[in-house]
Amino acid sequence: MRNNLVYYLILVRMKITVLNGNMTQENIEFERLINEFILKVSENNVVEQFKLNEMNLHYCTGCWSCWWKTPGKCAINDDAEKIFKSVINSEFVVFASPIYAGFTGSLLKKITDRLIVLLHPYIEIIQKETHHKKRYDNYPKIGLILQRENETDSEDIKIITDIYKRFAINFHSKLCYVKILETNTMEEIIHETCNI
């Protein structure tokens, strides 16, 4: 039994959480490509996917309960708690979304905002800016996978990238990549993810 456990630990590199922000099941191509990505990355990693469009998720109300009343626990009783636990216990988190009107979908934005629960309300200086202090010792690195819409241009990608870079700083993390999800980029995305 012990030898099997050692063998398993050697094979599994890291835990990865995938936040699938596809807004609708009609985007079959996005689902197909994300499922292909997860299948390949799961060969040597533990991957947990959250399909946000199948979950009961509410917007942050800014009540600050997660900071003052119930530190580290959101006052909203929905499915987000499962995501918080998975994210903070991962080595890598993939934020994945089609682009809608020049930005990620509202489901991905909603859960990104709610991740504030994983930080302290207290402030420290990072890169000459004020940011929240860590609540936990370790935070996962992050990657961003986007699917273009017909009107997507380079400025849209730059804006989304800049916002997630800012998120990574406040999250005591690093944005490792921003990738456009297409059949011809899949191998590159899988390779980069597995070599984080």
Tell me what pLDDT residue 162 has.
97
- The total domain count for the chain is 1
- State which amino acid sits at residue 117: V
Residue 7 resides in a domain: no
Q: What is the pTM of this model?
A: 0.91
Residue 109 sits in a domain whose CATH number is 3.40.50.360
Give the DSSP letter of residue 173.
-
Distance, in Å, from the CA atom of 119 to the CA atom of 168, rounded to the nearest integer, reads 12
Tell me what pLDDT residue 84 has.
98
Structure-block tokens of residue 180: 């456009």
Residue 119 resides in a domain: yes
Among candidates 53, 151, 33, which has minimal Cα distance to 108? 53
Decide: helix, strand or coil at residue 139.
Answer: coil
Residue 4 resides in a domain: no
Residue 118 resides in a domain: yes
Rounded to whole angstroms, what are the CA distances from 8 to 16, 18, 48?
16, 22, 17
Give first-to-last CA distance, the chain, whole Å: 30
Tell me what pLDDT residue 24 has.
87
Residue 65 resides in a domain: yes
Residue 83 resides in a domain: yes
Residue 122 resides in a domain: yes
H/E element holding 38?
helix 28-41
Tell me what pLDDT residue 4 has.
54
Distance, in Å, from the CA atom of 53 to the CA atom of 159, rounded to the nearest integer, reads 24
Residue 158, domain extent: 13-194
Residue 5 resides in a domain: no
- 103-104 vs 119-126, strand pairing mode: unpaired
Q: What is the pLDDT along the chain (196 residues), one digit of tens a residue?
A: 455 555 455 556 899 999 999 998 889 999 999 999 999 999 999 999 999 999 999 999 999 999 999 999 999 999 999 999 999 999 999 999 999 999 999 999 999 999 999 999 999 998 899 999 999 999 999 999 999 999 999 999 999 999 999 999 999 999 999 999 998 999 999 999 999 8
Tell me what pLDDT residue 3 has.
53
Cα three-residue angle 136-166-187, rounded to 5 degrees = 90
